[in-house]
Structure 1
Amino acid sequence: MVSSSYSNLLDLATGAADQGPAPAALGALRRRLPSVVTTPGLMEDSPASPSTPSPAPRPRTIVVANHLPIRAHRPASPEEPWTFSWDEDSLLRHLQKSSSSPSMEFIYIGCLREDVSVPEQDAVAQALLDSYNCVPAFLPADTAARYYHGFCKQHLWPLFHYMLPLSPDLGGRFDRLLWQAYVSANKVFADKVLEVINPDDDFVWVHDYHLMVLPTFLRKRFNRIKLGFFLHSPFPSSEIYKTLPVREELLRALLNSDLIGFHTFDYARHFLSCCGRMLGLPYESKRGHICLEYYGRTVSIKILPVGVYMEQLNAVLALPETEAKVAELMETYTGNGRVVMLGVDDMDIFKGISLKLLAMEELLGQHPEWRGKLVLVQVANPARGRGKDVAGVQEETYAMVKRINEAYGAPGYEPVVLIDQPLQFYERVAYYVIAEVCLVTAVRDGMNLIPYEYVASRQGNDKLDRILRLCKPEEKKSMLVVSEFIGCSPSLSGAIRVNPWNIEAVADAMECALVLPEKEKNLRHDKHYRYVEKHDVGYWANSFLQDLERTCKDHSNRRCWGIGFGLRFRVVSLDLSFRKLAMEHIVQAYRRSKTRAILLDYDGTLMPQAINKSPTAKSVQILNSLCQDQRNAVFLCSGFKRCTLDEWFPAENLGMAAEHGYFMRAEEGRGMGDLHPTRRLQLDADCKAGDGALHRDDGRFDHRGEGHRARLELRGRGPRLRVMPGQGARRPPRERAHQRAGVREEHRALRRS
């Protein structure tokens, strides 16, 4: 079993530990000893070996997710070994197959879906590493339950899908023990990454909300790790997200990544809004890429929806089992001119199965001509979570199916067919092939690849065309009715988008999809298929890894310092030429200089943030001593009123700027002037214009015109513009608007002067 941590390798490299043979499993993954840490935050190469340099290492990507793309099969008896196979339904399984770099090596880290006893864990880990390049993370049973079914499914999953914990039945109040289990589980994943990583060359790609604090643990160990994170679920708006008690910890943890990916622009926009409102971090565009500056590090934002693995779909479509299943389903459902409408969803509260059934009931009630002709096949996959809400969804679904079939069914005809058992992939593809319409009514979903799989399956092949009795390519068609709240909706421009909560609108969309002209159906299908074929999982993965490499290319040109404790850890990144200014150097330079300019801010610099803003006697004494030195030019800038600063700092040789520079006082004068000299000259010129537009009166500038008077007051914390109705006839609303616009323009001109 892989057991040695990366820190042990550093000890071996520096001779701080006893020499011994490295574990065989770790040796298979490690190509060479890493660089040696000689300066905190700086990685420096170890002395060159006199031998011939080794060839360039093979590029590697370490993929970290909650579950490995592996199916584990428990042995029938304790003496027999575990057996494993690839999970072909897993998205992560297709990353290596679709990689544009054949030399890229992928290492997978995650949990198994089966519980493995402690005595068996070493053998299981060794077998997975040798045969599948997978490193399993084994969590204690209690930690795993609290981590996945507790914090992930009771807190993060509902909140990210816009469900607030308003009552114990809807997730309950925040449980600090579940949060601690979540952090502990992420630490276990981090330890597994540290066992196999070579930080100088490897890329790490973390997936989904289960591992949102993992970037902090990895960045804390290796300041310049090449780290990407992709969120496969929605990211809620800031108004929803800010209700999470650990909101800042999760945001700061994600910002320890180099690249953060989202499926849609809306999800990325919500994340950026949260960073701006809760952390005060603005974003900017650099050469077409959205970026955040976080303590000197550039964190890039990637927006790209994931796709399906087209090679797998085409291979499944060509299977004899698929052809036989399609023929069977055609005979079962499409006889007597019946039309099949398909829904494939998890038995989950957010998938909108009940809303879909209500729309089907509405359609059959409003359009009797479809009774006996339309069949809705609803495939309900087992729920991934557990709890009262899942049981409630199941009970509600069964009751609604029974009610609809009793109301609109007939001998030999059921309008709704519910399949609530797991289907193999080829069986699901067969249902895609026979369906005229695919219906997705999820109330919130991160991406949902069901429409993509449906479109690709409807393209079919020659053998399936013969089974479907299609003679020409122009007869290939597909129709999509999708919720506007799922991630794939913006990418499918030919789909009929609906609000799943509007039952009547969904029923109308279903009827529209059925009666649309065949030519229109073919055009929409062709458009969708071209998009799905081009933007497959390979396109998505290669684009993300290319952007990750671009984002991390300047890591070696930066100096890094880690600061903060726990989940508030972050890395300060500075240019290589940066050097910390030592206090003794400042003192020496101060003593040697003949003239000195000392520029000071007040609130937060000269005085700490506090309720009592007045300076202390010690601060005033220090300022006075600085001002008494003829070689010093001391200037203080503040947002306070000029009268307040005059009262606090009576020193004659102190220059001040009140109200953020709107009023200024030079060091050789006493008292604060009305305005900066350039502004005063501009106002005086306007007052002398003689047109009666501006009149100066004790800090006020009045603009008098027909029917109105505008006053610009230069008192208080800043200038204020007031527009007051004057005497005279009232002007029409449009003319009054023009007058106000003119006054505002004059005010802006004054501010710019």
Structure 2
Amino acid sequence: MSTADFVVVANRLPVDRNTDGGDGGEWRRSPGGLVTALEPVMRSTEGAWVGWPGKADLEFEPFEFDGMHLVPVPLSADDVADYYEGFSNDTIWPLYHDVIAAPRYRRNWWEAYQRVNLRFAEATAAIAAEGGTVWVQDYQLQLVPKLLRDMRPDLTIGYFHHIPFPAYGLYSQLPWRKQVLEGLLGADVIGFQRVADAGNFARAVRRQLRYETRASGIRVPTSDGGHRTALAKAFPISISTDDYIELAQRPDIQARAAEIREDLGNPKKVLLGVDRLDYTKGIRHRLKAFGELIEDGRLSVEDVTLVQVASPSRERVESYVQLRDEIELTVARINGDNDTWGHSAIRYMHQAFPREEMVALYLAADVMLVTALRDGMNLVAKEYVASRVDNKGVLVLSEFAGAADELASAVRINPHDIDGLKDAIVRAVEMPTAEQGRRMRALRKRVREHDVDDWSRLFLDALTAAARGHGVTTRSVSTVDEEQREA
């Protein structure tokens, strides 16, 4: 079996099974920024991608697709239920998103998580070349870095955490908190979306493992009695900005944007929310604020329409079923109380759309509402900004989304403050064109300068530096001193 100098390890392969009978063979490329970001590196290094094919009980031999070597990791129906839907999405996801929903701690889920992480590590160890580089992606695989280091100490290992990392007071609830921290510290570079997330991680390491830290470095003991330094810092992810600009400049997509406004009854202002149907996204808060604005008479149904796109998510998880029912009842109530023959208050769509249609929606929307209660980044905010080639439109952005650290010219809101959210929406609706232009130009400059290529380059540069510095240590302040400062 051939080996690869560069290996990406993610819960999912970058392809979907082609079941529509169309051209292109058995597999088709998955949409998504991660695939776009890593594809050039994969091609230049003839890299491999280790991941689950996406359906239970499917087993495939490694295969080639579009210049990438793909290594499927099979999961049984029980694995999907316990490792993925259970521990990953009903324990880690709510815990890491500030316990907006209550996490559940089940020992059989943890056992499945360990078992599946070991399977991913073994598949990676088998395909990685001597002295190669491995980049592990996200919260489903937090144990893989240490498992892989134990198997293959010759490798340089990176890990990127796409979701928030919680404050210590929340993280400490996790019964297996030390094992997860030790798993992550198997990596040479541990990347986070926000500086605050990296700080939360370092604090948890100090409190739980008593390891020494200084700046971004964490001093990790090794089996031979020595130590090595793991780098933990922020590498905020971004989008393929040029792709969105190119789409937004296409005449057919601009025509589709005008058609969308026509279909909505040509309101004076179109508000837009685009989210996965998830309790972290603040959809309920957004609907409450908008409904109250109509009831208060501050917005008129004839003048303003809210388009809410909520793509399906984790439909077998009970909390998500309940969320969908609640949102659909809220939309029905607001529309029932306020719709006219020519205009609807809210146009709600529980479905996903291709990128071309999303860019048309972004161009049609005068105000983009990102009201996340907690979000690692929120790339929708950046997609909206990149698409506004006309330098118009207003981004209303939650301070609890990672994007708020970068997109300083957005109208920032605390989504828990419904009155403040209402005021921000009215401000956005009434914002003069000149102010829109000033804000949007600043936002677009940031998104263009820091795109997804910049993100992957910065992370891989840090990994390269780590490879050169294997075994090098830095002097660090003692854990006791750190704890005294925190006290």
Q: Report if TM-score (shorter chain) is over 0.5.
A: yes
- 3-state SS in 2 of match to 1:91: helix
CA contact (8 A) 2:163 2:376 kept: yes
**Is 1:298 aligned with 2:229?**
yes
**Max Rg structure:** 1
Residue deviations 1:59-102 (CA, integer Å, cap 9, x gap): x42111101111211486xxx996111113242333223x5x98
Aligned to 1:157: 93
Aligned to 1:126: 63
Aligned to 1:137: 73
Letter of the 1:145 counterpart: A
| Shift, 1:203, TM fit | 0.9
C-alpha separation in 1, matches of 2:323 and 2:129: 46
Aligned to 1:552: 467
Residue deviations 1:646-704 (CA, integer Å, cap 9, x gap): xxxxxxxxxxxxxxxxxxxxxxxxxxxxxxxxxxxxxxxxxxxxxxxxxxxxxxxxxxx
- 3-state SS in 1 of match to 2:191: strand
**Matched residues, percent identical?**
32
Which residue among 410, 416, 427 is the counterpart of 2:357? Answer: 427
C-alpha separation in 2, matches of 1:399 and 1:148: 29
**Is 1:83 aligned with 2:19?**
no
CA contact (8 A) 1:351 1:441 kept: yes
| Shift, 1:262, TM fit | 0.6
Which of the pair has the greater relative contact order for Cα pairs under 8 Å at 6+ separation? 2
| Shift, 1:269, TM fit | 1.0
The 1:140–1:186 alpha-carbon spacing in structure 2 relative to 1, beyond 3 Å, is same
Aligned to 1:568: none
CA contact (8 A) 1:67 1:112 kept: yes
Alignment of 1:339-354 (within 5 A): 339-354=269-284
Aligned to 2:288: 358
- 3-state SS in 2 of match to 1:63: strand
C-alpha separation in 2, matches of 1:343 and 1:442: 11
The 1:456–1:480 alpha-carbon spacing in structure 2 relative to 1, beyond 3 Å, is same
The 1:548–1:394 alpha-carbon spacing in structure 2 relative to 1, beyond 3 Å, is same
Aligned to 2:123: 192
Aligned to 1:179: 110
**Is 1:66 aligned with 2:7?**
no
The 1:345–1:456 alpha-carbon spacing in structure 2 relative to 1, beyond 3 Å, is same
- 3-state SS in 2 of match to 1:243: coil
Alignment of 1:426-445 (within 5 A): 426-445=356-375
C-alpha separation in 1, matches of 2:410 and 2:356: 25
- 3-state SS in 1 of match to 2:262: helix
C-alpha separation in 2, matches of 1:211 and 1:514: 42
- 3-state SS in 2 of match to 1:103: helix
Alignment of 1:205-216 (within 5 A): 205-216=135-146
Letter of the 1:345 counterpart: D
Tell me the C-alpha RMSD between the 2 structures.
2.4
C-alpha separation in 2, matches of 1:230 and 1:506: 32
C-alpha separation in 2, matches of 1:171 and 1:548: 33
CA contact (8 A) 1:96 1:106 kept: no
The 1:369–1:212 alpha-carbon spacing in structure 2 relative to 1, beyond 3 Å, is closer
- 3-state SS in 1 of match to 2:279: coil
Residue deviations 1:92-115 (CA, integer Å, cap 9, x gap): 333223x5x983443211111234
- Corresponding pairs, count: 469
Letter of the 2:35 counterpart: L
Letter of the 1:108 counterpart: W
Which residue among 484, 505, 508 is the counterpart of 2:423? Answer: 508
C-alpha separation in 1, matches of 2:246 and 2:119: 37
C-alpha separation in 1, matches of 2:287 and 2:460: 41
Aligned to 1:609: none
Aligned to 1:672: none
Aligned to 1:93: 36
What are structure 2's unaligned runs of at least 5 residues? 222-226, 475-487
TM-score, normalised by the number of residues in structure 2: 0.91
Letter of the 1:348 counterpart: D
- 3-state SS in 2 of match to 1:85: strand
Aligned to 1:107: 48
What are structure 1's unaligned runs of at least 5 residues? 1-25, 31-59, 461-475, 559-572, 575-753
**Is 1:257 aligned with 2:187?**
yes
| Shift, 1:371, TM fit | 3.3
Letter of the 1:156 counterpart: I
Alignment of 1:463-612 (within 5 A): 476-555=391-470
**Is 1:325 aligned with 2:256?**
yes
Letter of the 1:342 counterpart: L
C-alpha separation in 2, matches of 1:321 and 1:179: 50
Letter of the 2:322 counterpart: G
C-alpha separation in 2, matches of 1:115 and 1:318: 41
Letter of the 1:210 counterpart: Q
- 3-state SS in 2 of match to 1:199: strand
CA contact (8 A) 2:36 2:240 kept: no
Letter of the 1:95 counterpart: L
C-alpha separation in 2, matches of 1:357 and 1:350: 14
